[in-house]
Amino acid sequence: MSDAPAPARDRPTVRAAMGLPVVGMVGGGQLSRMTHQAAIALGLSLRVLADATHDSAALVAQGVVLGDHTSLDDVRAFARGCEVTTFDHEHVPGPLIESLEDEGLQVWPGSVALRYAQDKIAMRERLAGMGVPVPAFLPIATARDLEGFAHHNGWPVVLKAATGGYDGKGVWVVGSLEEAADVLASGVRLLAEEMVPLTRELAAVVARSPYGQAAAWPVVETVQQDGICVEVVARAPELPEDLAVAAPELALGLAGALGVVGVLAVELFQTADGLLVNELAMRPHNSGHWTIEGARTSQFEQHLRAVLDWPLGDTDTTSDHVATVNLLGPADGSDPRGNLEAALGIEGVDPHFYGKESRPGRKIGHVTVTGTSGEDVERRAWRAHDALVGEQGRGR
């Protein structure tokens, strides 16, 4: 049984000048910014609901509306001006999205699907119920719950906030009840997970349209440091053929079963026993930034095509090897953009800056390099990273 909503028949048809639809994105971060870049080529101009005029996307788009993404009034007024509304993040409350849907507004992904990207407990329970391999988990409220979980699964245990976490925030690895005390006392809704003995992390990124058309990019390796993705390598090097097939199939199956519309990124643990699903994101995702240069259709254009129910684009790679390295604000508070000229001097480096103020550890951009040798593209991407950020931020 699928949760997928039926294709809408009676869409409101708010149309911009020139006969093309108005797409709105809630959230003014870098995902909106890069989606706007893709929208320009399609003849569209993304409308953005931003918190502030200095938001990443608000700096570069024409149709910026300031508002609070947790306010029904603000989001509703915004969505009423758009033919389709989509999201740059998962933080719009589910009941708010349901209200928009009840009004007949087109919102993708819909609230039914989006719940599994917003609530890790709902996601784990749903996936386990479908027989999809996930780490051992338990929703917990008390020290006693945690003790029972650790008794069966061993220490350390990974505690996760059920909602609201990102980039390592909302995740705590605890070695004992004592270490967990503060988190348990914080009142945050929690999920306990086994510490998976993983070989590495992968991501399978796909897109699906309301009509049900779906397309997958090749599986990538994601390199994490302190819970933040620092590098993405496409395709994932030395991935066994069975996993290279199984991972996109798994992601496409989830997109269909959950009724996702737009881009779905499935973060995966590769273990000696196969793949486990770590997280889901229902929007363009850091693990798909490489597609801007490295694939025939970028995840940003594909997300637009999907939410508009237009034909999806070709997901073939344009190069044998692609490396994307994230740029995190250096610990000394300096701004890597001061070193841009040095980085541009490195051959074949495509920089992407998000227009965000540099703060220690904050993702302010990324660089991508494409080429014919995996070692060479990674080497050049890290050289550009080092020229911009310095070696202190090096991931591997």
The count of residues interacting with a copy of itself (CB under 8 A) is: 50
Angle at 295 between CA 167 and CA 2, to 5 degrees: 65
Query: Which secondary-structure segment (H or E) carries 274?
Result: strand 274-281
Quick one: 31 or 150, whose CB is closer to a copy of itself?
Answer: 31
- The closest alpha carbon to 32, from 16, 44, 47, 10, belongs to 47
250 binds a copy of itself (CB under 8 A): no
Minimum distance, C-beta of residue 295 to a copy of itself, in the bound complex (Å):
11
54 binds a copy of itself (CB under 8 A): yes
Minimum distance, C-beta of residue 367 to a copy of itself, in the bound complex (Å):
10
Minimum distance, C-beta of residue 42 to a copy of itself, in the bound complex (Å):
6
62 binds a copy of itself (CB under 8 A): yes
66 binds a copy of itself (CB under 8 A): no
Residues 294-353 that bind a copy of itself (CB under 8 A): 296, 305, 310-311, 313-314, 316, 318-319, 335, 337-338, 340-341, 344-345, 347-348, 350-353
**The only residue of 32, 37, 222, 317 in contact with a copy of itself, by rule CB under 8 A:** 37
Residues 170-199 that bind a copy of itself (CB under 8 A): none
* CA–CA gap between residue 363 and residue 300 (Å, rounded): 18
Residue 54: partners with Cβ closer than 8 Å, 6 or more residues away = 355, 357
Minimum distance, C-beta of residue 315 to a copy of itself, in the bound complex (Å):
11
Q: Is the dihedral of CA 240, 244, 249, 252 positive or negative?
A: positive
AA letter at 134: V
Quick one: 17 or 272, whose CB is closer to a copy of itself?
Answer: 17
Return the structure tokens found at 310: 């237009």
8 A C-beta contact, residue 236 and residue 219: yes
* CA–CA gap between residue 143 and residue 151 (Å, rounded): 12
Quick one: 135 or 294, whose CB is closer to a copy of itself?
Answer: 294
* CA–CA gap between residue 6 and residue 25 (Å, rounded): 22
Integer-rounded Cα Rg, in Å, for the chain is 21
43 binds a copy of itself (CB under 8 A): yes
Of 12-20, 98-106, 221-229, 263-271: span binding a copy of itself (CB under 8 A): 12-20
Beta bridge partners of 204: 266
Of 15-23, 90-98, 112-120, 226-234: span binding a copy of itself (CB under 8 A): 15-23
**The only residue of 249, 357, 359, 373 in contact with a copy of itself, by rule CB under 8 A:** 357
* CA–CA gap between residue 24 and residue 48 (Å, rounded): 6
Residue 202: partners with Cβ closer than 8 Å, 6 or more residues away = 219, 220, 221, 222, 236, 239, 243, 247, 267, 268, 269, 270, 275
Of 13-21, 96-104, 144-152, 222-230: span binding a copy of itself (CB under 8 A): 13-21
288 binds a copy of itself (CB under 8 A): no
AA letter at 46: L
Minimum distance, C-beta of residue 34 to a copy of itself, in the bound complex (Å):
8
8 A C-beta contact, residue 162 and residue 120: yes
Quick one: 126 or 305, whose CB is closer to a copy of itself?
Answer: 305
Q: Would strands 137-140 and 190-194 be described as parallel, antiparallel, or unpaired?
A: antiparallel
Binding residues for a copy of itself (CB under 8 A): 17-20, 33-34, 36-37, 39-43, 45, 54, 58-62, 64, 296, 305, 310-311, 313-314, 316, 318-319, 335, 337-338, 340-341, 344-345, 347-348, 350-358, 365, 370
